[in-house]
A and B are shown apart, each in its own frame.
Chain A
Amino acid sequence: MLLLLKFAVLLLTLGLCQGNRQPNILVEDVEDVEPAFEPSRFGSLWPLPQKVKISQDSFKLGSSFRIVDGKGSSAGSSCNILQNAYRRYYEYIFGGAKRQGLGKNRRSAPSELTELRVYITSADSECDGYPSVKSDESYDLSVVQPFAVLRAPKVWGALHGLETFSQLVYEDEYGAKSINATAISDFPRFAHRGILLDTSRHFLPVKVILANLETMAMNKFNVFHWHIVDDPSFPYLSRTFPQLSQQGSYHPYTHVYTPADVKMVIEFARLRGIRVVPEFDTPGHTQSWGKGQPDLLTPCYSGATPSGTFGPVNPILNTTYDFMAQFFKEISSVFPDGYVHLGGDEVDFTCWKSNPDIQKFMDAQGFGKDYSKLESFYIQKLLNIVTTTKKGYIIWQEVFDNGVTLKPDTVVHVWIGSGTNEEMSKVTAAGYTTILSAPWYLDYISIGQDWRNYYKVEPLNFNGTEKQKALVIGGEACLWGEFVDATNLTPRLWPRASAVGERLWSSKDVTDLNDAFNRLSVHRCRMVERGIPAEPLFYSYCPREYKGL
């Protein structure tokens, strides 16, 4: 990181006073460190770019300021992603400030910045494509007078650069939009930076999903892991099997995602450089599937008779695989991403054990009493099905642990909180790419500044060679839905997930908790100003408090 000079004035100064804590019952809850806010030399940049140099020279952004395509950029006015982003960031930069008429006099004042020119430098801007795990997200930003210049090989980097540019703008003491001369060269440390939302345990209205995609972009996340169905409900409206949501959702009209909803989410995400990776978790976590698809689940037995309850997907019937083949064919066309998440976690064997037909099948296959072999049998067949759809797959760690044969490009998702480092070593030693979630289960809450724990995680802190570490493509913050719905999701996710965002984007040596606190405090106020109810880190205030009550 290059060194830099201090900001003269900060956009959002933020107050934090020293003082006693109020009554607390539990002594151990008391923060060991009393955070004291002071402006960071990096302003409010979040996540911190790889290389930043900010000078003291400041420019004003007048009413005539524009974000424009640079001459010779490979993406022009027909590039929707960029044109939409220009408008979005113009509005974020100038906020609710009264629109002034188009400045007639577009001649620049001595210290005015009149344009941000955006250049896409590679021949294929990828403007009409979807982001992928291999997307180039790098960009260079140079704020000099009179034109700031943003260069990126692809539109994905340009989107991040626009966010960074908007974070550099601040209000001077007279409320004028200002920006300091700055040079930034930036790229993500990890390619996969995800947020998992669970729309099965509680249904999340589309509006809530979109608001969180918007916030993900502010934090440079690039994967929305949509844990769309699970035991409690099946809100995905399948064109091939409409009964699944008709019978399996909380309500067949008000609590479903129609094809149009899904399309909207995918396009909204694409415009922000975010991949949508759907998860259809099997063979466990499928209670809701059974309501609309008879014979899919295993009938559990009590003694010699069916008990009326059902277990995991029934792995011994051909109809199961016919169903899965058709179903995943649909999924592969509805979701454009190169990957689909197949779940495979927490399979409970008791129901399989109780079922005499399953036992017979086990004997015939020579599985003995080892039900993990049956699970592997199922998963193997499922993976073969999904392979025919030309998709890559992501699976939870148990699938790897149980020794299922995986394609070399399989992504193993590590989530179990104990023995995480050993697991990371094992998975990467076996040559699989890996995503880490274990330390970032954000549904677990406690009083205090738990963002610090998420921030302190070092994903490559396991025993392994450089080659192994290169297989870790990123991580995900998971917000499971047991206790979360539209009423509390957004403030519970932000800014706690922002801590994960910086860990996955910024350089490994960005670990200063105090500097992070100072930047994150202002970043959270910026999210609030942009209409996102991101909760406070500690006692403090935002110049413009949340108004969306």
Chain B
Amino acid sequence: LRISFNSPNFIVCIIFYVFLFFLFLGVWPLPQTLISSTERFHLSPQAFYFGYGRQSAAQQGCSVLDAAFKRYFALIFPDYTSDGTLPFNVDKQFTVEVSVDHNDCDGYPNESSSERYNLSVFSGRASLKAVTVWGALRGLESFSQLVYQDDFGSYFVNKTDIKDFPRFQFRGILLDTSRHYLPVQAILKTLDAMAYSKFNVFHWHIVDDPSFPYQSRTFPDLSSKGAFHPMTHIYTQSDVRRVISHARMRGIRVLPEFDSPGHTKSWGKGQPDLLTPCYKGGIPSGTFGPINPALPSTYHFMATLFKEVSVVFPDSYIHLGGDEVDFSCWKSNPYVRAFMQKMGFGSDFTKLEAFYMENIVNITSALNKTSIVWQDVFDYHERIPKDTVLHIWKGTPASYYAELSRMTKAGMRVVLAAPWYINHISYGQDWHNYYTVQPLNFSGTEEQKKLVIGGEVCMWGEYVDATNLTPRLWPRASAAAERLWSDEKQTSNVDMAFPRLQDFRCKLVRRGIQAEPLYVGHCKQEYQGI
């Protein structure tokens, strides 16, 4: 009962699939260089080891890698159940030997962390070399994807040589925990899946108009009054620590966003006088607008809150939001208008917004944090500090290319999110759209293009909660992951990508991630939940 959809392509893809299986062996996102042969080695879970190279700066006891070995053993051998009775076989053993140049085992990944790695698979061993433990994590992920099972359940890996590094440094996923509360479990599961697609930034849009689930230790009323429920729909300090630690173990940065001055309705419930009272006919109407930029108490509050945030979240970036500020309430308020006069802003409310943002950026700078803001801030106010990162979310390719040109010309670093608003769903294989984005296809010099530090997939929360988040996110976000990690020339064809992505999505399902299907077909092991 369906107009045939894409079926000629489908046939072509099947043919490609057979061909590509040997060529790429299903590593997603595609490594920068991958050479493999048909020579294959048998792997046995009873004789498989991870170890540290003799020259490695990190040795046993490295929290990040020790935990990763345990994780990847289970991912590589999904059928293996240790009953403790099988003796490890020393004859045909296989060792993955990991060496890193820096011992950054106890640190956090940051904006300049190297994720480069080299992986060589030989008979009886594999050698994984990386600058940092974060690079080693990426290499372990690639290795785990190289292993496959034949029809009888035996595990194999082919002789392979990979030299790999990310095209973009910043590869993010935004989750919105304000429009719907996401249980911590849902966030942790997303972090797992992010690591499988080599994403490295979790942009936590933690609060917004509808609710304030972040439990602040300085201002507990924010969540006790502003969350959907003060006990069940909040993130406690230990929840946040758990998320950050889970992310760190997977080489993922946690970038918190406390969006202001707009998108702050829920803040007002627990913090009186923070929001601007709107007026109607000369008297307060009882409703509230954006944060009140005319009161000194606002900046005291924000400085105190961000001081807390800068301690709780170790990442060097803080997202300050700054998008979609509605001026009508400010305009209605006589005190705000008087402040405008005093400051000499005339009736240009963008100047008021710029004034506010400048103050907030100064607060975060004083805390030694890099600010990242939505593009609106730049659009209104081009004189923002040079080390601020700009985040593009609006428009068609033509308009975001123009924006990219303008911003990079001004010497600003940019993260691109506009083409990856994955909360927009439609019928069919929309991953094509996410895959075929060309982030650097704007007019500008080589220097300008270097200022594009990466991209981000945004899953806004209007229609998404724990019931449908995972299948909506995966494998659609994985399409963007390949765009942000891999070489564009090698990965520009959706028909070539289709069978690889299909294979990858079945791997996700096998790993317990309920990634939805791309099209008609099946996985050897289907999802076992409902």
- Interface residues of chain A, those whose CB is within 8 Å of chain B, are 15-26, 29, 201-203, 205, 207-208, 211, 227, 232-233, 250-251, 254-255, 285, 345-346, 396, 415, 443-448, 478, 480-488, 490-492, 528, 532-541, 543-549
Contact = CB atoms under 8 A, between A and B. Distances in A.
A313 to B, nearest CB: 17
A346 B1 contact: yes
Contacts of A207: 528, 530
Interface string B429-459: 0000000000000000000000000000010
A22 B471 contact: no
A17 B467 contact: no
B194 interface: no
Contacts of B214: none
B179 interface: yes
A20 B324 CA distance: 8
B526 A446 contact: no
A26 B208 contact: no
A250 B468 CA distance: 26
Nearest to B399: A25
B432 to A, nearest CB: 13
Contact of A485 (B2, B185, B517): B517
A491 B176 CA distance: 19
The 8 A-B residue pairs whose C-beta atoms are closest, nearest first, are A19-B209, A488-B471, A539-B179, A533-B467, A491-B468, A541-B228, A487-B514, A250-B522
Contacts of A549: 183, 185-186, 189, 466, 470
A285 B7 CA distance: 14
A346 B229 CA distance: 52
Majority DSSP secondary structure for residues of A touching B: loop
Contact of B374 (A23, A415, A485): A23
A20 B95 CA distance: 55
A548 B530 CA distance: 9
B245 interface: no
Contacts of B471: 487-488, 491
Given A17-B265, A251-B522, 7 more contacts: A25-B421, A227-B1, A446-B425, A480-B1, A483-B516, A488-B517, A536-B467
6 contacts: A486-B530, A487-B527, A488-B514, A492-B468, A536-B180, A537-B463
Give the size category of B's interface with A: 35 or more
A24 to B, nearest CB: 8
Report which residue of A201, A207, A251 has the largest number of chain B beta carbons within 10 angstroms of its beta carbon: A201
Contact of B468 (A15, A29, A444, A533): A533
A85 B529 CA distance: 24
Given A443-B427, A445-B427, A536-B467, A202 B1 contact: no
Given A345-B1, A447-B423, A549-B189, A485 B526 contact: yes
A536 B465 contact: yes
B522 A480 contact: no
A490 B530 contact: yes
A539 B210 contact: yes
B478 to A, nearest CB: 14
B208 A483 contact: no
Interface string B379-395: 00000000000000111
B326 interface: yes
Report which residue of B229, B233, B425, B529 has the largest number of chain A beta carbons within 10 angstroms of its beta carbon: B529
Contact of B426 (A22, A446, A487, A534): A446
B530 A19 contact: no
A482 B519 contact: yes
A20 B262 contact: yes
Report which residue of A205, A232, A485, A544 has the largest number of chain B beta carbons within 10 angstroms of its beta carbon: A485
B393 A23 contact: yes
Nearest to A547: B183
Contacts of A17: 209-211, 265-266
A548 B514 CA distance: 12
B521 interface: yes
A203 B527 CA distance: 10
B468 A21 contact: no
A491 B471 CA distance: 9
A548 B468 CA distance: 11
Nearest to B393: A23
A538 B1 contact: no
B263 A19 contact: yes
B324 A23 contact: yes
B342 interface: no
Contacts of B324: 20, 22-23
Nearest to A209: B530
Contacts of B424: 24-26, 29, 447
B462 A21 contact: yes
Nearest to A533: B467
Contact of A541 (B181, B462, B525): B181
Contact of B263 (A20, A485, A543): A20
Contacts of A548: 529-530
Interface in B241-274: 262-263, 265-266
Contacts of B85: none
B467 A487 contact: no
Given A17-B211, A483-B516, A541-B180, A546 B427 contact: no
B5 A482 contact: yes
B516 A488 contact: yes
A530 to B, nearest CB: 12
B521 A232 contact: yes
Nearest to A198: B1
Interface in B223-243: 228-229, 232-233
B378 to A, nearest CB: 15
B466 A546 contact: yes
A205 B523 CA distance: 12
Contacts of A20: 209, 262-263, 324, 326
B282 interface: no
Nearest to B266: A17
Contacts of B418: 25
B211 A23 contact: no
Contacts of B509: 487
B464 interface: yes
A533 B426 contact: no
Given A17-B209, A486-B529, A480 B2 contact: yes
Nearest to A443: B427
Nearest to A535: B468
